[in-house]
Amino acid sequence: MMKTGAEIIWECLEREGVSVVFGYPGGAILPTYDALKHSSIHHVLVRHEQGATHMADGYARASGKVGVAIATSGPGATNMVTGIATAMMDSSPIVCITGQVGSKLIGSDAFQETDITGVTLPVTKHNYLVTHASEIAQTIREAFYIAKSGRPGPVLIDITKDAQQSSCEFDWEGAKPQLPGYRPDLSPEMDEYEKALELIHNSKRPVILAGHGIMMSGATREVIELAERANIPVALTLLGIGALPASHPLNLGMMGMHGEAWVNHTIQDADLLIALGMRFDDRVTGNLSTYAPGAKKIHVEIDPSEINKNVKVDVPLVGDLKDVLDQLLPEVEARERIEWFDYIQKLKGDAAVRDIQNLPDNGHLYAAHVINDIWQQTHGHAIVVTDVGQHQMWEAQYYKHEDPRSLITSGGLGTMGFALPAAIGAKMARPDAEVWVVVGDGGFQMTMPELATLAQEKLKIHIAIINNGYLGMVRQWQEFFYERNYQATPLLNPDFVKLAEAFGIHAVKVDQRKDVIPTVQAAREHDGPVLIDFQVEQEDTVYPMVPAGADLHRMIRRPSPIVETATDA
């Protein structure tokens, strides 16, 4: 059947199971937009191309499917780079389609021409420049296969305008991926399984380190079975939150720079770390030379380039986590670890009395109060999408996630402006889920024009702005490490309530602790999006904190009302 390149694009997306794309039209992609009238795919008109990539990313993280973003050439394509890099760092499967100037104009500095494949080469898993309609079908099929196989990641397809306009025979079956050099289906050798089992069975103080790969592999059930069968406590990375229900007795909580003190001490005192779908990021390990010095390490990871990259391991198991655990679990023996759990319980020490939730009410509204109340009202079952900064860490500490894929946040790149558009993508992927945006007043302003997209799509999303009038995390670093020299961190904010109302979105302001729960309840009952401007204490601090490059167990902790010490040695 003869079709134009533009028609082939939509036909291929439909056959890949795509029902929604996020995009912004422009000259070099207009033939494709013209052909959209023949497609059943729903197009979400964003207000900035960065928003389109974050929406595709949020869609992918919430659903496990490939998200799709679309833009024109030049600035349309370059506006996508931050979103592509965000997806790359967090291994999120998205496909970005960009229009390009006509093939005869490439290299001539034509209007809105940019070498986007060159620009995105370091931040994509793979990318393509397509100059003929006959190449489009196979390229799209390969792009989807690459994006979702092995270690997932973003793929960009740049398609010239003449390739979109010209016609060719469309042959879906004849366009199967042909990637002889791409081998994502690695699996460990049998002796590596035996070495791992020996370490697990001989360990006295093991800890599982649970990462984002657990959700991507769909291995949450297997991880829980491993933890329960061998009786091993589980510490989670930021992106691993949700891999184990927060209420599970083996769940220690988040590790790393802003992890709880007892979690980091447990890791440092372990004799075995079992790293599952995580990459030993510097925010997780602290000083590498003193990281878990007495522990053997097992690393289960689908990307062989991550093995021994940051932390040298004793047993690498390279392969899909679910497949590896399916092979390993039948041989794992039950163990009692009474002394180990007694020790961990003692490590918790006075953490409870340091918790801001347990301090006397001084009349101030703290971010922790807001997030804790949202958690209590939603019982830990909402999808929460955060930006980056203090509120992100408070969310990880005070919202107790019970479900996988329920915390969506930018971990690796740390992208401010991620939350609102990613939440729109997540809601499109899972329309029946309750979705909350938890965002700082700084990051929110980076992509707040997407309020228009939210209103246009009539999505029931709740936005909680943690408004402290600062770029909070930067201010905290200035407080700790730059003698409180608050350069360029105080914010003059707009009236967020009036701003939301200008888009037709219901909005309220809250500055009293007693008003948090009634406002959250009212938002959940409202039939449509709601923005809540929570005006919290300005100079609050995220505790504990491992200073950058410090030993993992040397944390700055919230001063105890009982023991006046600021540093835990």
Burial 82-111 (b: 16+ CB within 10 A, else e): bbbbbbbbbbbbbbbbbbbbbbebeeeebe
Task: Give the torsion sign (CA, 258, 264, 268, 270).
Answer: negative
> Considering only CA atoms, which of 211, 281, 224, 213 is closest in space to residue 251?
224
Q: 346 phi and psi, to 5 degrees?
A: -65, -30
Among the listed residues 88, 473, 545, 555, the single catalytic one is 473
Instruction: Give the up-direction half-sphere exposure of residue 26: CA atoms within 13 A in the CB hemisphere.
Output: 25
Among the listed residues 11, 16, 49, 306, the single catalytic one is 49
Among the listed residues 112, 165, 327, 377, the single catalytic one is 112
* 192 counts as catalytic: no
What are the structure tokens assigned to 235, written together? Answer: 């510490």
Burial 369-396 (b: 16+ CB within 10 A, else e): bbbbbbbebbebebbbbbbbbbbbbbbb
* 49 counts as catalytic: yes
Q: For residues 168 and 160, give the distance between their C-alpha atoms in angstroms, rounded to a whole number.
A: 15
* 125 counts as catalytic: no
Q: For residues 129 and 146, give the distance between their C-alpha atoms in angstroms, rounded to a whole number.
A: 16
Q: For residues 338 and 342, give the distance between their C-alpha atoms in angstroms, rounded to a whole number.
A: 6
Q: Which helix (H) or strand (E) holds 461?
A: strand 461-467
Question: How would you write 91-142 as a 3-class SS string?
Answer: CCCEEEEEEECCHHHCCCCCCCCCCHHHHHHHHCCEEEEECCHHHHHHHHHH
What are the structure tokens assigned to 385, written together? Answer: 């999408």
Give residue 261's identity as a one-letter amino acid code. Answer: A
569 CB neighbour count, 10 Å cutoff: 7
Q: For residues 220 and 216, give the distance between their C-alpha atoms in angstroms, rounded to a whole number.
A: 9
Contact 267, 292 (CB under 8 A): yes
- 409 alpha-carbon distance from chain centroid: 4
Q: Which helix (H) or strand (E) holds 531?
A: strand 530-535
* 138 counts as catalytic: no
- In DSSP terms, 160 is beta-bridged to 100
* 478 counts as catalytic: no
Instruction: Give the up-direction half-sphere exposure of residue 171: CA atoms within 13 A in the CB hemisphere.
Output: 9
Contacts of 59 (CB under 8 A, 6+ apart): 20, 22, 65, 67, 425, 426, 428, 429
26 CB neighbour count, 10 Å cutoff: 20
Among the listed residues 161, 297, 322, 427, the single catalytic one is 161
Among the listed residues 14, 104, 111, 345, the single catalytic one is 111
Q: Give the catalytic positions in this structure.
A: 49, 111-112, 161, 473
